[in-house]
Amino acid sequence: MSLVTPDFGLLVWMTVIFAILFFILAKFGFPIITGMVNKRSDYIGKSLESAREAQRKVDALADEQKRLIDETKREQSRILNEAAQTRDDILKEARQQAHTEAETILAQAREDIEAQRETALRDVRRQVAELSVEVAEKLVRGSLSDDEKAEELIGKLIDEAAR
Amino acid sequence: MKRIGLLLLMVLMMLPLEVFSGETEATAAADLDMQEYLFGHIGDAYEWHITTVNGRPVSIPLPVIVRSKTTGWHIFSSHHIEEGEEYEGMFISQEEKYNGKVVERAADGSLVRPFDISITKNVFSLIINSTLILLLVLSTARWYRRHDVLKETPKGLVGIMEMLIVMVEDDVIKEGVGKDYKRYSPYLLTAFFFIFINNLMGIVPIFPGGANLTGNIAITLVLAVCTFLAVNLFGNRHYWKDILWPDVPVFLKAPLPLMPLIEIIGMFTKPFSLMIRLFANIMAGHCMLLGVVAVIFITAKMGPVINGSLSVIAVLFGVFMDVLECLVAFLQAYVFTMLSAVFIGMSRQEVEEG
């Protein structure tokens, strides 16, 4: 029966030793370990949370970036279109201007030419007239030396003039 | 095929040894007193018997501390009283009364048991194992104090300790106790490691292990009392109401407090079952192992063939039992902690709505 009757000495020692063991471990042992482990698991939890947050931010940034790139591309094509448009406009205008300028110049030139031709014609006419007068003078002087011929000539001239 | 070869090798290695031991111990084994053998191993003793060489016991003497009502305190080494010798009036009783305990003879010739707080084998082993637990836990705690826990993780022994502590705290204590588990976790963790380490040390067959501590009722009694105190000292109003005025029809509690009586008995049976469960499991494990080993010595006089073959079986079965005991060592520590946590949790349950 000694197996199931607790021995008094062992009871005393067990109580004392277990109490000492418990107090030492409860003061210097387990709370430190569990505290640190909890601290670490909190830290890991927080790290996971912040990693998730960071991932979310990165995703948002990527979206933003994509949006910006799209926008920029749109803007670029718009600007390019606009530039092409402007270039075309400018070219067209320039062409038109050149055209009108050319027209003006041509018209001017034509006018000048006309005027010069007028002048030249007038000149030529005057000279021809003078020459003709001179020739006529000479002819008349020559022909008039001979009366018969002079008469004939005068008659012819009058005819001609009359015609 | 390989396994069978290994088995044969084991048999061959064992046979000559067993034949040899059969010859030398034949005379001793012939009258192997099974009861003395069993109780000698699972019981307590005043000295720590390690082995016997050439018929002379090799043991570590331990201090005997007794206080006699008539002659006062006596502190002496246990080797003075080994083999029934008498020292300062004290000797170990060989009679039915107080068998194996230090006694003195009173004036009228009857045996008187003095006040005995000797450092016995169990107490000594308790001191060694407690020191071991202290070393293990405090070195783990020291690691945590010396290292930045956010930058490093422990390895090796500290890692194992951390794993065990976290497992017990998360799976057992948090689940069992509930909301304010932090208050109880030092006690429950201490109980877990105390039982676990003592169980394991009990399996180690040679010094400093081998004492049957957790299979001793005094040890489990103290543990159960601690759980009893933890449950009942901090029980809340709901818990006490459930015991003294449970939700049952009035006739079960009004004139005769039947249910409260049962509940009050229940208060004591819960830790009692803890005490008996741990004690019985570990003691039974030790007995089984000892019985299996005893087969070798009991069959010694039956001739080398039977002895040899049975020895092989005994050793194989012993290995199996040892492995099983390792599992039981952990399991019982786990169960004790878990049930304690559950009992504490029950005493702190809040009133549920409805």
Measured between alpha carbons, how far is B171 from B181 in angstroms, rounded to an integer? 12
The reply to whether B197 and B252 lie within a common domain is yes
Residues B240, B261 contacting (CB under 8 angstroms): no
Average pLDDT over residues B295-300: 85
Asked if B159 and B153 count as a contact pair (C-beta separation under 8 A), the reply is: yes
**pLDDT band at residue A122 under the 50/70/90 scheme:** confident
Least confident range of B91-100, B119-128, B159-168, B222-231:
B91-100
Which residues in B lie closer than 8 A to residue A45 (C-beta atoms)? none
Lowest mean pLDDT among A147-161, B198-212, B269-283: A147-161
B253/B319 same-domain check: yes
Say if the Cβ atoms of B217 and A34 lie within 8 Å: no
| List of chain B residues whose C-beta atoms are within 8 Å of the C-beta of residue A3 | 39, 42-43, 217, 283
**CB–CB contact B43 A2 (8 Å):** yes
Segment B29-43 shows an average pLDDT of 73
Distance from CA of B51 to the nearest CA of A (A): 23
Contact A30/B122, CB-based, under 8 Å? no
Q: Are residues B95 and B128 in the same domain?
A: no
- Residues in chain B within 8 Å Cβ distance of A42: none
**Contact by Cβ (8 Å): B294, B345:** no
Between B113 and B127, whose confidence is greater?
B127
Give the residue on B whose Cα is nearest the Cα of A32. B141
Question: Does B24 fall in a domain?
Answer: no
Q: How far is CA B168 from CA A22, B161, B337, B343, in A?
A: 16, 11, 8, 16
Same domain, B127 and B101: no
State how far the Cα of B147 lies from the Cα of A47, in Å rounded to an integer: 19
Q: Are residues B184 and B287 in the same domain?
A: yes
User: Is B199 within 8 Å of B282 (Cβ atoms)?
Assistant: yes
> Is residue B27, in this structure, part of any structural domain at all?
no
Using an 8 Å Cβ cutoff, are B294 and B310 in contact? no
**Do B156 and B112 have their domain in common?**
no
Asked whether the beta carbons of residue B218 and residue A6 sit closer than 8 angstroms, the reply is yes
Q: Are B102 and B119 in contact (CB under 8 A)?
A: no
pLDDT score of B268: 93
Say whether A29 and B140 touch across the interface (CB within 8 A): yes
A105: buried, middle or exposed (CB in 10 Å: 19+, 13-18, 0-12)?
exposed
Q: Supply the pLDDT for residue B189.
A: 93
Facing residue for A3 by CB, picked from B189, B217, B226: B217
Q: Side chain identity at B334, as an amino acid letter? A: Y
Question: Nearest CA of chain B to the CA of A76: how many Å?
Answer: 50
Q: CA-to-CA distance for B215 and B285, rounded, in angstroms?
A: 9
Q: What residue in A sits closest to B102 (Cα-Cα)?
A: A9
3-state secondary structure of A147: helix
pLDDT confidence bin for B354, thresholds 50/70/90: very low
B336 inside 8 A of chain A by CB = no
How far is A73 from A52, CA to CA, in rounded Å?
31
Where is the domain boundary, B70, B97, B116?
Answer: B116
Q: Among A7-21, B5-19, B206-220, B250-264, which is the least confidently predicted range?
A: B5-19
CB-CB neighbours of B57 under 10 Å? 12
State ipTM: 0.83
Instruction: State how far the Cα of A116 lies from the Cα of A110, in Å rounded to an integer.
Output: 10
* pLDDT class of B9 with cuts at 50, 70, 90: low
Sequence-separated (6 or more) residues with CB below 8 Å from residue B26: B300, B301
Q: What is the DSSP letter of A145?
A: T
Binary contact (B138, A24; C-beta < 8 A): yes
Mean pLDDT computed over B16-45: 61
CA B85/CA B68 separation, integer angstroms: 18
**Does a structural domain hold residue B23?**
no
Let me know whether B209 and B143 are in one domain. Answer: yes
- B252/B220 same-domain check: yes
Count of the separate structural domains present in chain B = 2
- CB-based contact (8 Å) between B126 and chain A? yes
Q: Please check whether residue B137 touches A, CB under 8 A.
A: yes
Residues B339 and B285 in one domain: yes
Question: Would you say A141 and A133 are in contact if contact means Cβ atoms under 8 Å apart?
Answer: no
Determine, for residues B226 and A43 on separate chains, whether the beta-carbon distance falls below 8 Å.
Answer: no
B141 and B103 together in one domain? no
| B227 at interface of A, judged by CB pairs closer than 8 A | no
Interface check for B63 against chain A (CB to CB < 8 A): the answer is no
Nearest CA-CA partner of B144 in A40, A46, A24, A42: A40
Three-class HEC string of chain B: CHHHHHHHHHHHHHHHHHHHHHHHCHHHHHCCCHHHHHHHHHCCCCEEEEEEECCEEEEEECEEEEEECCCEEEEEEHHHCHHHCCECCEEECCCCCCCCCEEEECCCCCEECCEECCCCHHHHHHHHHHHHHHHHHHHHHHHHHHCCCCCCCCCHHHHHHHHHHHHHHHHHHHHHHCCCHHHCHHHHHHHHHHHHHHHHHHHCCCCCCCCCCCCCHHHHHHHHHHHHHHHHHCCCHHHHHHHHCCCCCHHHCCCCCHHHHHHHHHHHHHHHHHHHHHHHHHHHHHHHHHHHHHHHHHHHHHCHHHHHHHHHHHHHHHHHHHHHHHHHHHHHHHHHHHHHHHHHHHHCCCCCCC
Instruction: Give pLDDT, residue B188.
Output: 93
* B164 and B245 share one domain: yes
B48 phi and psi angles, rounded to 5 deg: -100, 100
Structure tokens belonging to residue B193? 């490691």
Residues B89 and B159 in one domain: no
Residue B135 lies in a domain: yes
Q: Is B180 inside a domain boundary?
A: yes
pLDDT, residue B5, reads: 62
Is residue B46 situated within a structural domain? no
Q: Is residue B4's pLDDT more than 70?
A: no
Model confidence at A74: pLDDT above 60: yes
Task: Indicate yes or no: CB of B117 within 8 angstroms of CB of A40.
Answer: no
B6: in domain: no
Which of the residue ranges A31-40, B113-122, B253-262 would you say has the lowest mean pLDDT? B253-262
Residue B219 is nearest to which of A14, A21, A36, comparing CB atoms?
A: A14
Which chain B residue's Cα is nearest to A9? B117
Residue B352: per-residue pLDDT: 62
CA distance B173 to chain A (A): 12
The percent of residues above 90 in pLDDT, for chain A, comes to 42
Q: Are strands B90-92 and B102-105 parallel, antiparallel or unpaired?
A: antiparallel
**Which chain B residues touch A12 with a CB distance below 8 Å?**
117
- Are B189 and A25 a contacting pair at CB < 8 A? yes
Whether B101 maps to a domain, the answer reads yes
- Residue B24 has a pLDDT of 44
Pairwise CB contact (< 8 Å): B226 & A2: no
Residues B154-202: tens digit of each pLDDT = 888 889 998 999 999 999 999 888 888 888 999 999 999 999 999 999 8
Which residue segment(s) compose the domain that B69 sits in?
Answer: 58-116
A interface with B, Cβ–Cβ < 8 A, is 2-15, 17-18, 20-22, 24-26, 28-34, 36-37, 39-40, 43
